[in-house]
Amino acid sequence: MLLKEIRAIAGETLVLAPHDQDAEHANTSWFGAPPHERMGLSADEVVTAFEETAELLRDQVSAMPYAGPATFYVWHDGDAGQLRCSTGSRGQDKLPFEAPYRVTSDLHAIVAEFLEDRAPGALVWGQPEPVPFRSGVSERRVWVCNLCP
């Protein structure tokens, strides 16, 4: 189901509106999966689905009458227990995150972290960190793909 949902993103209407960033929230998708589904998937399968989706989005952007940056990005929201992605009209250094983030070329590590989370979105009473605790990670890691030809 997760792979199908990721690939379906490329079939949705893409909104690139540099002067109306709120309109671009329509491009944001989030995915959860129960532990049994996570155990049945490999990180390679999920990475391939995202890479295929990025290529299809690149084709959409090149066919649009749009000139400007277009970025597809993926991250694991451990607090929500979700894998998330979005497309926006910003460069990789200006993504709309309130907290610090670090751009990485390692999508596999982001997906593996999501798949290995056996208690998605669960918190230990009195602790602000999700279970299992992310040791030493102070910044969100974000995989970025430039969609401009």
pLDDT tens digits for the chain (149 residues)?
999 999 999 999 999 999 999 999 999 999 998 888 888 999 999 999 999 999 999 999 999 998 899 999 999 998 888 999 999 999 999 999 988 999 999 999 999 999 997 666 555 566 665 545 444 456 899 999 999 97
Q: Quick one: pLDDT at residue 137? A: 53
Report the distance separating Cα 9 and Cα 7, nearest Å. Answer: 5
Nearest Cα residue to 101 out of 62, 69, 71: 71
**What per-residue confidence (pLDDT) applies to 130?**
52
Domain extent, residue 35, equals: 2-122+134-146
Judge whether 51 lies within some domain.
Answer: yes
d(C-alpha 73, C-alpha 69), whole Å? 13
Is there a domain that residue 127 lies in? no
pLDDT of residue 78: 86
CA nearest to 120, candidates 34, 39, 36: 34
pLDDT of 147 reads 96
Residue 139 and residue 100 in contact, taking contact as beta carbons nearer than 8 Å? yes
Order across the sheet with 71-77: list the strands: 29-31, 82-88, 71-77, 140-146, 101-104
CA distance 85 to 61: 16
Number of domains in the chain: 1
Q: Which two structure tokens, joined as six digits, stand for 120?
A: 């998605």
Residue 102 domain flag: yes
Asked if residue 128 belongs to a domain, the reply is no
